[in-house]
Chain A
Amino acid sequence: MPGTSVHVQQLTKRFGATTALEDITFDVGKGELFGFIGPDGAGKTTLLRILTTLLLADTGRCTVEGFDVVKDYRRIRSISGYMPGKFSLYQDLTVEENLKFFATIFGTTISENYHLVREIYQQIEPFKNRKAGKLSGGMKQKLALSCAMIHKPDVLFLDEPTTGVDAVSRLEFWEMLQRLKAAGITILVSTPYMDEASQCDRVALMQNGRIMTISTPREVIRNYPLSLLSVKAGDIYQLLGELRKYPGVHSVYAFGQSAHVAFQKTKLDKDTLSGFLKKNNHAVVEIEPIEATIEDCFMELMNTPRE
């Protein structure tokens, strides 16, 4: 690795009685695209706010590009770009005025760094005289990313940039992040969407203020300890209930219209399960073995008691 960009060691943060972050330790290499994946309340936003010097941790140490988040917070503020989870641009300013404003307060101009944001900004440039509040969700995100990028940051912190954005815009957004990564920018991004994990170089799966695992997405899936069957049937709720009672089944979760049944290879196979379901009047049953997804891994990690 060409060096460390973000270093976090034994970070803890409490808000009153609730623990937002507990014993967080990780490193992000320069130029890496690093994802924090977890549901709401996992502590992703708090973590990003600590890294962007907006919040102070209770204990632990963090550095960004070698600068301490407490002592050197002013240095960090000029080398990092931040995109908060909530859309936080000036809704009564136009697209162009917003971009210009953020360029100005970082002491630069649009033309100076236009090459950085060109690919993103070009898509919203036809609407540059429209008020930011009147943009669609996807366009807002593109504008917010442009504003976070306009001062050529070394590190980019993105808090749930794809939440509330349609599927096509989400895909486009990740393509943009890949391009920024290719330009050498370190990117830390949080998301509640498990399917976006594969876009990251490495991911940290988070739950209740803890990091359950840090690995490449491929590694996370390879470490999945169980076998999986996808079962489709008409009445998914009844199906879930019956599958959970069946001996040898480790866990069952609903994934859209199908159920993912996890089991240990030695204890169960496809034919036994399909026979059992047929006997119990689940006439239309589609059953097939599948690869684990990040979400399966997440569910399994959630259920594994910590040592």
Chain B
Amino acid sequence: MKRFRGFVIKEFYHIFRDYRTLLILFGMPAVQLMLFGYVLTNEIKDAKIAIYDPSGDVVTRKISDKILSSGYFILERNLNTVAEIDPVFRQGNVKLALIYEPGFAGKLEKTGKARIQIIADASDPNTANMLVNYASGIISNYLVSMNSEKVPLQIVPEVRMMYNGELKGVYMFVPGLMAMLLMLISALMTSLSITREKELGTMELLLVSPMRPSQIIVGKVFPYVFLAFIDACIILVLGNLIFGMPIAGSVFLLLAESFLYICMALSLGILISTVTNSQQVAMMISLVVLMLPTILLSGFIFPVENMPVIMQVLCHAMPPKYYIIIIKSIMLQGNGIAYVWRETLILAGFTAFFLALSIKKFNVRLS
């Protein structure tokens, strides 16, 4: 036990004397959180639009007012001719254009039918899609309110977005960010710290000492369990305080699941360090083999359901996916272990598998 303590103390010396490690450990979570929170948001706010309204009657003005007062759109300019539409899009500021047909109110009155054309700049398809949805939503709302006293028969869908009423991006990126950062810190840092000992030749000295391989490994990863756990707490607290990310379920369960996930990532890091002797290779493997799939295939950014079958199969082999499912379920829906036991078991299975594999591969000798 004294040996183990001495080993862990040495490991903390390494970490606290290397400012780059510290920067990655504690700077990264904060920076990433701010980036995703403020910069990389895909919520719509103040999108610039242009309006061509040749009829200029009560109804069209009412509709335009509704749209502009929604908070999603602001008026960039009023167009005077149809010919101006194209150049105004080319300038790039305007994301959406509304075109009313001439004599709008009159047609609506007489035939019960009038047309609005919505043109969107689809060079960014996601944004265009969202803008169009918002705009047509506002228009149909207006129509319903206008008709309410006249038409006897109508079906009004009452939509309620459960667990994320305002469709906030933060509810999606905090869990994703936790999965990504914990993976990065745990797997990358441990694989680097173990391969560094190999590169410097100190592993040779550790091996000829009476310490058992398991003691060496546990001693090396123990500080990172601790630090990754602190990081998880930092993200949770920042996410909660700054971005209002709710924690509906048990905090204890959330931390326990995070701990399990950290252990899984650490065992992956150990596994990486057993297959290579160089820090550079370890870093490449960690970044390419772990980070990219964590970001792309875990359902963090792109929904798994929309992927081709073969990619979906691949997604199921991504441990971060299960962690994201678990913590979303705990944080947003307030679920207990009864709802996430399956995913928890899968994570535990991954951990056991990676650990067993790395113990089998760890060499008590040099080659």
Which residues from chain A sit less than 8 Å from chain B, CB to CB?
A: 49, 52-56, 73-74, 77-78, 80, 82, 84, 86-93, 97, 100-102, 104-107, 147
Does B17 sit at the interface, judged by CB under 8 A?
Answer: yes
Contact A93-B10, Cβ < 8 Å, known A49-B366, A84-B201: yes
8 Å CB contact of A104 from B2, B17, B200, B367: B2
Report how many residues on chain B are interfacial, defined by Cβ distance under 8 Å: 25
Does B14 sit at the interface, judged by CB under 8 A?
Answer: yes
Q: Which B residues, 195 to 248, have Cβ-Cβ distances below 8 Å to chain A? A: 200-202, 204-211
Query: How far is A88 from B200 in the complex, measured between Cα atoms in Å?
Result: 6
Contact A104-B210, Cβ < 8 Å, known A55-B366, A92-B18, A97-B13: no
Task: List the 8 shortest-distance A-B pairs measured between CB atoms, nearest first.
Answer: A104-B6, A88-B201, A78-B210, A54-B366, A86-B201, A82-B208, A92-B17, A105-B209
13 residue pairs of the A-B complex, CB under 8 angstroms, read A55-B365, A77-B208, A88-B202, A88-B205, A89-B202, A89-B205, A90-B10, A90-B14, A90-B202, A92-B13, A104-B3, A104-B6, A147-B205
Query: How far is A51 from B211 in the complex, measured between Cα atoms in Å?
Result: 18
On whether the beta carbons of B14 and A54 are closer than 8 Å, the reply is no
8 Å CB contact of B6 from A55, A105, A147: A105
Instruction: List 10 additional A-B contacts (Cβ < 8 Å) besides A90-B13, A102-B209, A104-B7.
Output: A54-B207, A55-B366, A77-B210, A78-B210, A84-B201, A87-B201, A88-B202, A92-B18, A105-B206, A105-B209
Residue of A whose beta carbon sits closest to that of B201: A88
Query: How far is A87 from B204 in the complex, measured between Cα atoms in Å?
Result: 11
Shortest beta-carbon distance from B60 to chain A in Å: 72
Query: How far is A261 from B367 in the complex, measured between Cα atoms in Å?
Result: 45
Residue of B whose beta carbon sits closest to that of A92: B17
Shortest beta-carbon distance from B366 to chain A in Å: 5
Contact A106-B210, Cβ < 8 Å, known A49-B366, A54-B204: yes
On whether the beta carbons of A74 and B210 are closer than 8 Å, the reply is yes
On whether the beta carbons of A88 and B210 are closer than 8 Å, the reply is no
The tally of CB-CB contacts under 8 A between chains A and B is 76
Shortest beta-carbon distance from A87 to chain B in Å: 8
Which residues from chain B sit less than 8 Å from chain A, CB to CB?
A: 2-3, 5-7, 10, 13-14, 17-18, 200-202, 204-211, 364-367
Contact A54-B208, Cβ < 8 Å, known A100-B6, A104-B3: yes
Query: How far is A54 from B363 in the complex, measured between Cα atoms in Å?
Result: 10
Contact A93-B13, Cβ < 8 Å, known A54-B207, A77-B209: yes
Query: How far is A90 from B14 in the complex, measured between Cα atoms in Å?
Result: 9
On whether the beta carbons of B13 and A82 are closer than 8 Å, the reply is no
Contacts of B6 in A (CB 8 A): 100-101, 104-105
On whether the beta carbons of B3 and A107 are closer than 8 Å, the reply is yes
Query: How far is A283 from B206 in the complex, measured between Cα atoms in Å?
Result: 60
Query: How far is A80 from B205 in the complex, measured between Cα atoms in Å?
Result: 11
Query: How far is A141 from B5 in the complex, measured between Cα atoms in Å?
Result: 27
Residue of B whose beta carbon sits closest to that of A78: B210
Contacts of B14 in A (CB 8 A): 90, 92-93
Residue of B whose beta carbon sits closest to that of A70: B365
Query: How far is A187 from B114 in the complex, measured between Cα atoms in Å?
Result: 100
Contacts of B367 in A (CB 8 A): 55
Query: How far is A87 from B14 in the complex, measured between Cα atoms in Å?
Result: 17
Contacts of A104 in B (CB 8 A): 2-3, 5-7
Shortest beta-carbon distance from B279 to chain A in Å: 14
Residue of A whose beta carbon sits closest to that of B212: A74
Residue of A whose beta carbon sits closest to that of B203: A88
8 Å CB contact of B2 from A53, A54, A107: A107
Query: How far is A97 from B10 in the complex, measured between Cα atoms in Å?
Result: 8
Query: How far is A106 from B207 in the complex, measured between Cα atoms in Å?
Result: 11
On whether the beta carbons of A105 and B7 are closer than 8 Å, the reply is yes
Query: How far is A147 from B209 in the complex, measured between Cα atoms in Å?
Result: 11
Contacts of A97 in B (CB 8 A): 10, 13
Query: How far is A97 from B16 in the complex, measured between Cα atoms in Å?
Result: 14
Contacts of B200 in A (CB 8 A): 88, 90-91
Contacts of B10 in A (CB 8 A): 90, 93, 97, 101
Query: How far is A102 from B204 in the complex, measured between Cα atoms in Å?
Result: 13
Shortest beta-carbon distance from B209 to chain A in Å: 5
* Centre residue among B202, B206, B208, B365 by max chain A CB count within 10 A: B208
Contacts of B202 in A (CB 8 A): 88-90
Contacts of A80 in B (CB 8 A): 208
Query: How far is A28 from B17 in the complex, measured between Cα atoms in Å?
Result: 43
